[in-house]
Amino acid sequence: MEPISSNTLVDAMRWRYATKQFDSERRIPDAIWDDIEKALVLTPSSYGLQPWKFIVVTDIKVRGKILPHAWNQRQVVDCSHLVVIARPTHFGEEDIDRFIARTADVRGVDADSLAGFRNMMVSTLIDAMPDRLGDWAVRQCYIALGNLMTAAAMLKVDACPMEGFVPAEVDRELGLPERGLTTAVMCPMGYRASEDRYAALPKIRYRAEDVVERV
Ligand SMILES: Cc1cc2nc3c(=O)[nH]c(=O)nc-3n(C[C@H](O)[C@H](O)[C@H](O)COP(=O)(O)O)c2cc1C
């Protein structure tokens, strides 16, 4: 694969911004959405365990119900695709076994040959930090969020990462508790409205020399 030019990458990072106003008339074309979804699913995670579910909400009625629980941030209803990144409320040995089964299937090996790997994951995660698995899963979800935003920017699709919501209420609207899921973070996606003045504001970032250290 040829590397993309550094201009393409940095231009995309400068172009993107947390979109405050979406053009409610514009939908992300299916072909572009397919690529974004592929990039999302390809997100790396700790051990590759993928403790997440990506719920893509396009139904405007459902989004209308989420709106009051998202501080009435209009992006939820005006965007094209609302991505809710959820994590399992419980993560246990059965999830490790599911991943081992998938690995055996994809790589064409016997699951028993992966017993050492399986037991290592159980001891370093499930046994070692049972009270911190929720935080661990949320961290993985945020990697997916970052990947999603970068992929979108590369395809000139706008996004607004969103923590401003009441997770328990969003969960209830989406029927997540009965599925053993809870919302980690959301990301409305679509196209910016021409009148969104936030698009033109200069980015506020610390200077590279203040955040990057060279050793
Ligand atoms: C995890 C996370 C949660 C955020 N939550 C919200 C939110 O609820 N509403 C909103 O308008 N912006 C939200 N933002 C956007 C940030 O304020 C914004 O990314 C930051 O100020 C940098 O600006 P830029 O993304 O436009 O470059 C969130 C950003 C992140 C990364």
Q: What is the pLDDT of residue 4?
A: 83
- Residue-number span of the structural domain to which 152 is assigned: 23-90+144-211
Q: Is residue 7 part of a domain?
A: no
180: number of CA atoms within 13 Å, CB side?
7
* Sequence-separated (6 or more) residues with CB below 8 Å from residue 17: 158, 198, 199, 201, 203
Quick check: is 195 in a domain? Answer: yes
Cβ atoms of residues 63 and 76 within 8 Å = yes
* Residue 102 CA to ligand 1 centre (angstroms): 35
Looking at ligand 1, which residue's alpha carbon is closest to its atom 31? Answer: 161
Using pLDDT thresholds of 50, 70 and 90, give the confidence band for residue 5. Answer: confident
Distance (Å, whole) CA 89 – CA 200: 39
Give the number of domains in the chain. 1
- Residue 25: band (very low, low, confident or very high) from pLDDT cuts 50, 70, 90: very high
CATH number, domain of 27, equals: 3.40.109.10
pLDDT on residue 121: 98
- Does residue 127 belong to any structural domain of this protein? no
Cα 104 from Cα 76, distance rounded (Å): 39
Q: Residue 19 and residue 26: Cα distance in Å, rounded?
A: 14
| CA atoms lying within 13 Å on the CB side of residue 87 | 24
Categorize the per-residue pLDDT at 160 as very low, low, confident or very high, splitting at 50, 70 and 90.
Answer: very high
Cβ-contact 137, 180 below 8 angstroms: no
Tens digits of residue pLDDT in 101-158? 999 999 999 999 999 999 999 999 999 999 999 999 999 999 999 999 999 999 999 9
Pocket of ligand 1 (CB under 6 A): 17-18, 20, 73, 160-164, 185, 203
* pLDDT computed for residue 115 by the predictor: 98
Q: Give the confidence band of 43 by pLDDT, cuts at 50, 70, 90.
A: very high
Residue 161 is assigned to a structural domain of this protein: yes
pLDDT in the model for residue 3? 87
Residue 36 domain-assigned (yes or no): yes
- Indicate which atom in ligand 1 lies nearest the CA of residue 75: 11
Tell me how far apart the alpha carbons of residues 143 and 158 are, in angstroms, rounded to a whole number. 18
Give domain status of residue 193, yes or no: yes
